[in-house]
Amino acid sequence: MGLLERLRKEWFILGIVLVIAVARLEPAVGVKGGPLKPEITITYIAVSAIFFNSGLSLKTEELTSALMHVKLHLFVQIFTLVFFPTAIWLFLQLLSITPINEWLLKGLQTVGCMPPPVSSAVILTKAVGGNEAAAIFNSAFGSFLGIVITPLLLLLFLGSSSSVPFTSIFSQLFMTVVVPLIIGQIVRRYIKDWLERKKPPFGAISSCVLLMIIYTTFCDTFANPNIDLDKFSLIIIVFIIFSVQMSFMFLTFLFSTRNNSGFTPADTVAIIFCSTHKSLTLGIPMLKIVFAGYEHLSLISVPLLIYHPAQILLGSLLVPTIKSWMVSRQKALKLTRQPKAPVKV
């Protein structure tokens, strides 16, 4: 991972802490009807800005080289959007009998429903030297799938806690997510050369807008005196998130390195990161739409806010180990494929 990207990630994590602290001190600023007018600026403008920005930055023209690796793509998307949320749901059936805050547990389910992120899995795959093209394809394709599948998964596992009808939820998703994304892609076609030359800070722009969304989400929480978050539940959730991340990374490693899997070591690297990483950039705006006006929204958002830095931290720590394994595995495979020299009599 490059130095600038690492600094940006650390800045963003610090930003999350700061906006939550500010929201705790002045919750009235970011609530509905407050000076920021989040019912307009967040619900429509901020969410649309994030997805327009994503449309501009997604290099879909680079995906053609990875398009034919269907088996890898199926593995990643099924693991991310089917196995992951289902496994979390089964795990939560056991945790439901514990004293852990029920809204944080619901938040864990939302983590499972999220699509892969656009950037972090690609950056870590590139840092290791894995199949970057496959990582780019699955991150971008997973993001597009997530626009439709993630809201359906949220409604399936959690139900809509909003008073907004099902059709209204999807019409708002279409107008604030799909339309800006498509417009961004269309605009990109006309200014592609300029974007390549200037390299606008897409990541920083999305991060700033996302911090504003997180801030107003927590303003809603701290403005409600009836919501209480106990430290025990929070500590247990952090432990569970790290455990889930490590377990699923190990699981994808086992599945993708079987003798008959058909995946190369470089493919395995892309699979590990793309299958286990979850998108905060797409997740928070979607939660804001699906659970609009819900008083426990910020508590439900907490596990996703924790999962985001956890996946970056764990990924960064494991880069040297995974890279060492990949190089040694590639050397071993190369040796086994070399023809043996004939034995002289």
Q: Using one digit for the tens of pLDDT, what is the confidence trace for 177-194?
A: 778 878 888 888 888 888
State the Cα angle at 149 between 148 and 155, rounded to 5°. 105
pTM of the predicted model over 0.85: no
Confidence of residue 164 (pLDDT cuts 50, 70, 90): very low
Q: Tell me the one-letter amino acid at 33.
A: G
Predicted local distance difference test score (pLDDT) of residue 87: 95
Q: For residues 128 and 124, what is the distance between their CA atoms, to the nearest angstrom?
A: 6
Residue 203 backbone dihedrals phi, psi, to 5 degrees? -60, -45
Predicted local distance difference test score (pLDDT) of residue 80: 93
Q: For residues 339 and 220, what is the distance between their CA atoms, to the nearest angstrom?
A: 67
Estimate to the nearest angstrom the gap between the alpha carbon of 193 and the chain centroid.
28
Three-state SS at 329: helix
The DSSP secondary structure of 93-138, one letter per residue, reads: HHHTTSSS-HHHHHHHHHHHHPPPPSSHHHHHHHHHT--HHHHHHH
